[in-house]
Amino acid sequence: MQIHFIEGYIQQIYLVEYADKLLLLDGCCRADVDMVCDYITHTLSRPITDLKLVVVTHMHPDHAGGAHLLRSKTGAKIAAAKVAGHWYSGLDGILMHWSDMILALWVAGRKNKTKKNIWYSRKLSADHYLEDAELLPGFEDWQARHTPGHTDRDLSLYHQARSCIYVADLFVKVRGVFIPPYPVFYPNRYRSSLALVKNLKPNTIILAHQGEIDFQDIDFEKLENQAPSIPVTHWRSVKAKTKRALGLAK
């Protein structure tokens, strides 16, 4: 097994290569799909049909945005956490879906990337819905772990033999410091997810926006202390800013 690290539109892409198949650890952005297919055909010199499974760790644009298109191009199956309903359901879900895509484009601008089409369906149609600790279908050396908090359906992917775990957006690095992500919808679940990864004690942790880092370089106690006690979400931020603006207007 070899993990290929590819620079995506606004995140790292992790393509896992085996002698007879390929695994994508996350659904990446819609804007990344052609690049992933080109990497498979030109860098790895393999047919794109060797991509057998795409995991969607959660529904944000840089983790789910390319999944459906990759399936249509390669025939790969999609796997996601077994959680009832759709993340972007209802009117609030529609508005949040759009705001998340706008935020992704803002991040791209901060990275001096040109604007690209990142639209994707707000409703995921997966082929496999994974329970906590279930092995990935066709890739049984990887184990899906439920690590919610950032959203209600975050997945981490643990490889015991290599002693590594891909945690997607469980935490991020800003100005050289590891901090909880934004948003955190479920603070209590988030702390439990941090504890799960901490107790696994892998040699390395793979982040969606940072790369692979040594486990010993993460201060989990500090992350737990920094985690919010109440949800930190788009809507709470908008409401707080609105109240402040109204207060200043009086």
pTM for the whole structure: 0.94
Tens of pLDDT, residues 109-155: 999 999 999 999 999 999 999 999 999 999 999 999 999 999 999 99
Q: Residue type for 73, please?
A: K
Alpha carbons 5 and 46: distance in angstroms, whole number: 17
Q: At 242, list the tokens.
A: 């609105």
Task: Provide the CB-side half-sphere exposure for 173 (13 A, CA).
Answer: 15
Q: Look at residue 67 and give its three-state secondary structure.
A: helix
Confidence tier at 35 by pLDDT (50, 70, 90): very high
Cβ neighbors of 137 (< 8 A, separation 6 or more) are 53, 77, 79, 128
pLDDT surpassing 70 at residue 104:
yes
Confidence tier at 72 by pLDDT (50, 70, 90): very high
pLDDT surpassing 70 at residue 172:
yes
Is the domain spanning 2-226 CATH 3.60.15.10? The answer is yes
Confidence tier at 247 by pLDDT (50, 70, 90): low
Q: What's the whole-number mean pLDDT along residues 155-168?
A: 98
At 109 the pLDDT is 96
> Is-contact 78 72, C-beta < 8 A?
no
